[in-house]
Amino acid sequence: PQPMAPSLNNHHPLEARLRNWDAQQEEQKLQIQRNVYGVGVPLRRQFELKIVDEMDQKMGLAQTLPSIHRDILTGNDSRTDWEDIYPDEIGYEEDFHTRLERIM
């Protein structure tokens, strides 16, 4: 007997796994760090990511620009994604200094 959910939902079984791929990989990295280095290293990394996210939100950059700080902390600074080459046009008319002046 085959499960009926894939036929009823019209979704491939791998879609859910691919949808959560980044979150699962991040959790796996944190678990490996916990096993190797103890609780302190992944906890510090999560705090640093939280600080970067809060600063990006304060500056109003959370939805418009990719965060190089977040990329460095997650280890994605050497990876080139589609968004790095073809950025979304929304939010790129205004540079960082103009946005900072508007906030202040």
Chain segment 55-104, per-residue pLDDT in tens: 877 776 655 566 788 888 888 888 887 777 776 655 455 677 777 887 87
User: Does position 21 have pLDDT exceeding 70, yes or no?
Assistant: yes
Convert the pLDDT of each residue in 85-95 to its tens digit. 776 655 455 67
Task: At 42, list the tokens.
Answer: 């992944």
Inter-CA distances, 45 with 8, 13, 94, Å: 41, 32, 30
Q: Are 52 and 70 in contact (CB under 8 A)?
A: yes
Task: At 81, list the tokens.
Answer: 């994604």
